[in-house]
């Protein structure tokens, strides 16, 4: 279990937190000619090995990096503006399948960090998943329903919605892993009250449905992550 958790953590760091938007844009423009594609491949291999830190794992880390690059190459060449969302989901499923396959085949165990135990890495990975990776996933899922009014300028703070979503998911996550399930309902109710005035003022059914879908997806992902972490924590004690 810990091998998969640490490989997942390396994947989240390499694909989301440590990959600037400029890299993504450059790769989409230049494809296999983009130097950032190869930086990205090397980064994934280094992160995977760093998380395991066993000599025998070097070949698995190399295999992971090469397959990651191949999957990304396929996505860059076969995606188009209409299929970009589908390719993102397929891309992530293929990457996670590779991680699961390595976990099943590799017989060693990741070397424990001296300061943090397995439970810390499980909780930390869950937290990290609910930040930028969850935001990108939700954005891709609901992009097909984005109302026109959302694409125009408004008076909201820059990236405020993104940060609000991250904070609400982290709150839900910590409420669940600490056993305060009732606080999740309170948070959802509080957000509904604050958003009700804006939605009534907008008088747009599409905008209301768009916000509702995004909110439910955000809470759903946070709750699912919290339940999985809660289930796995006793197994590591």
Q: What is the mean pLDDT of residues 164-190?
A: 91
Specify the pLDDT at position 151.
47
Find all residues with CB under 8 Å of 139, minimum gap 6, and list them: none
Find all residues with CB under 8 Å of 233, minimum gap 6, and list them: 119, 122, 123, 177
Tell me which of 102 and 235 has the higher pLDDT.
102
Tell me what the pLDDT averaged over the chain comes to: 88
pLDDT of residue 189 exceeding 90: no
HEC sequence for the chain: CHHHHHHHHHHHHHHHHCCCHHHHHHHHHHHHHCHHHHHHHHHHHHHHHHHHCCHHHHHHHHHHHHHHHHHHHHHHHHCCCCCHHHHHHHHHHHHHHHHHHHHHHCCCCCCCCCCCCHHHHHHHHHHHHCCHHHHHHHHHHHHHHCCHHHHCCCCCCCCHHHHHHHHHHHHHHHHHHCCCCHHHHHHHHHHHHHHHHHHHHHCCHHHHHHHHHHHHHHHHHHHHHHHHHHHHHHHHC
What percent of the chain has pLDDT above 90? 62
Q: What is the mean pLDDT of residues 105-128?
A: 83
Specify the pLDDT at position 144.
83
Tell me which of 204 and 184 has the higher pLDDT.
184
What is the token pair recorded at 74? 């396929």
Q: What is the mean pLDDT of residues 57-83?
A: 95
Are 12 and 225 in contact by the 8 Å Cβ rule? The answer is: no
Specify the pLDDT at position 203.
56
Q: What is the mean pLDDT of residues 74-82?
A: 92
pLDDT of residue 71 exceeding 90: yes
Specify the pLDDT at position 37.
96
Q: What is the mean pLDDT of residues 49-53?
A: 91
Q: How many CA atoms lie within 13 A of 89 on its CB side?
A: 10
Q: Which bin fits 86, alpha (ψ -120 to 50), beta or left (φ > 0)?
A: alpha
**Residue-wise pLDDT tens digits, 128-166:** 999 999 999 999 998 888 766 544 455 566 677 889 899
What is the token pair recorded at 112? 């424990």
The angle formed by the CA atoms of residues 213, 219 and 225, to the nearest 5 degrees, is: 130
Q: What is the mean pLDDT of residues 178-204?
A: 75
**Residue-wise pLDDT tens digits, 10-46:** 999 999 999 999 999 999 999 999 999 999 999 999 9
Q: What is the mean pLDDT of residues 118-131?
A: 94
């Amino acid at each position: 279990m810990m091998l998969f958790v640490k490989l997942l953590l390396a994947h989240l760091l390499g694909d989301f937190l440590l990959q600037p938007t400029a890299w993504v844009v450059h790769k989409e423009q230049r494809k296999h000619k983009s130097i950032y594609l190869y930086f990205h491949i090397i980064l994934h291999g280094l992160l995977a090995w760093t998380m395991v830190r066993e000599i025998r794992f070097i070949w698995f880390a190399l295999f992971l990096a090469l397959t990651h690059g191949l999957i990304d190459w396929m996505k860059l060449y076969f995606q188009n503006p209409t299929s970009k969302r589908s390719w993102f989901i397929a891309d992530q499923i293929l990457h996670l399948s590779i991680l699961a396959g390595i976990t099943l085949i590799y017989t060693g165990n990741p070397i424990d960090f001296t300061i943090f135990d397995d439970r810390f890495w499980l909780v930390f990975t869950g937290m990290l998943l609910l930040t930028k990776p969850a935001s990108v996933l939700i954005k891709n899922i609901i992009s097909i329903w984005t109302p026109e009014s959302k694409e125009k300028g408004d008076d909201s703070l820059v990236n405020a919605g993104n940060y609000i979503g991250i904070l609400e998911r982290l709150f839900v996550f910590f409420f669940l892993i600490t056993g305060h399930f009732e606080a999740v309902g309170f948070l959802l109710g509080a957000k509904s009250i604050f958003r009700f005035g804006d939605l009534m003022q907008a008088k747009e059914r599409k905008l209301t449905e768009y916000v509702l879908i995004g909110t439910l997806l955000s809470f759903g992902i946070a709750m699912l992550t919290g339940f999985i972490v809660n289930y796995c924590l006793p197994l590591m004690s």
